[in-house]
C-alpha cells in the first residue's frame, strides 16, 4: 500500500521538520514546507493526500493558502493546526468544508488518528 502523502505547512521550521520526521517514523510520506510558494510548488508537482496547515503565518494566511491549493487540488484533505481557533476562522473553514483542526501543541496519536480518518484509512501504523 502506498504511504499517505502528508505536507506540513508551518513557518516554524523546527516544528514542521520534527513533526515530519515523527510522521515518517510512523510510516507516512511526510514533507515540511515553510512558506506559501513552496507549498504551491510541491502541491502542483507531487500533490499530497493531506495538508497540515498552520493558520497563522506571515504573508498569506493558512486559509488563503488552503483556498489557492484547492484550486488545483480540489480533493486535498486538510487539518488545520492552530494555537487556538478563532470563531471567524472556524466559520470560514466550515464554508470551505472538508477540514478538521487540532490545537498546537499536538498529540501525535491524536494527529495520526485524524489523518487516517481524513484520508479514509483505519490505521497506517502497524
Partner 1 sequence: MNLKIWHKMIIGIAIPSFIAILGGVLTYVYIKDVKKRQGFVLIADDLKEQVLEVRRNEKNFVHYKNKEHFDILNTEIGQLEKNLSTISEKTINEIGEENFSRFRKTILEYFNLSNALFENYQNESISTEKVREEGRELEAFAVSGKHAFELSTNFVLHLRILEKNYMLYRDKKSLDALHKGLAELKNLIPFCNECIPYADSLHKLISLYEKSGAALNELQGAGNALEKITGEVADRERQKINSFLNLTPRIVLAVILLLCTLGPFFVYETASYIVAPIKRLVDITKKISEGDLSQRAAIKEHDETYSLAMSFNTMLDHLQLMHQSLEKSIELLRKKQEQLVEAEKLASLGKFAVGVAHEINNPLAIINEKTGLIKDVIGMSDDFPLKNKLLDTLVGISDSVNRCRVITHRLLGFARRTDIPVEIIDINSLLKEVTGFLEKDIFYKSIKLKFNFTDDLPPIESDKIQLQQVFLNIIKNAIDAMEDGVIEITTGMKSRESRDIIMVSIRDTGHGIPEEIQKNIFEPFFTTKQKGKGTGLGLSITYGLVKRLGGNISVKSRVNEGTTFFVEIPVKAEAVKV
- Where does this chain bind partner 1 (CB under 8 A)? 12, 14-15, 18-19, 21-22, 25-26, 56, 83-84, 86-88, 103-106, 108
108 grid coordinates: 501525535
Complex with partner 1: residue 96 or 108, whichever CB lies closer? 108
* Shortest Å distance, C-beta 120 to partner 1: 25
Using CA atoms, how far residue 13 sits from 16, 17, 35, 78, in Å, is 5, 6, 10, 19
Complex with partner 1: residue 18 or 96, whichever CB lies closer? 18
Complex with partner 1: residue 8 or 118, whichever CB lies closer? 8
- Distance, CA of 32 to CA of 38 (rounded, Å): 9
- Which DSSP string corresponds to 71-111? HH-TT-EEEEEESS--HHHHHHHHHH-SEEEEESSPPHHHH
* Shortest Å distance, C-beta 55 to partner 1: 12
Q: What is the number of alpha carbons within 13 Å of residue 61 lying toward its C-beta?
A: 8
* Shortest Å distance, C-beta 72 to partner 1: 29
Complex with partner 1: residue 56 or 70, whichever CB lies closer? 56
* Shortest Å distance, C-beta 26 to partner 1: 8
Amino acid at each position: 500500500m502506498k504511504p499517505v502523502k502528508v505536507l506540513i505547512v508551518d513557518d516554524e521550521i523546527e516544528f514542521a521538520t520534527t513533526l515530519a520526521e515523527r510522521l515518517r517514523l510512523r510510516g507516512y510520506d511526510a514533507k515540511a514546507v515553510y512558506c506559501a510558494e513552496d507549498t504551491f510548488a510541491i502541491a502542483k508537482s507531487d500533490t499530497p493526500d493531506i495538508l497540515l496547515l498552520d493558520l497563522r503565518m506571515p504573508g498569506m494566511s493558512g486559509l488563503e493558502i488552503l483556498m489557492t491549493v484547492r484550486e488545483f487540488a480540489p480533493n486535498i484533505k486538510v487539518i488545520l493546526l492552530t494555537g487556538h481557533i478563532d470563531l471567524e476562522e472556524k466559520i470560514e473553514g466550515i464554508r470551505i468544508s472538508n477540514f478538521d483542526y487540532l490545537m498546537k501543541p499536538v498529540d501525535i496519536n491524536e494527529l495520526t488518528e485524524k489523518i487516517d480518518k481524513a484520508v479514509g484509512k483505519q490505521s497506517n501504523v502497524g
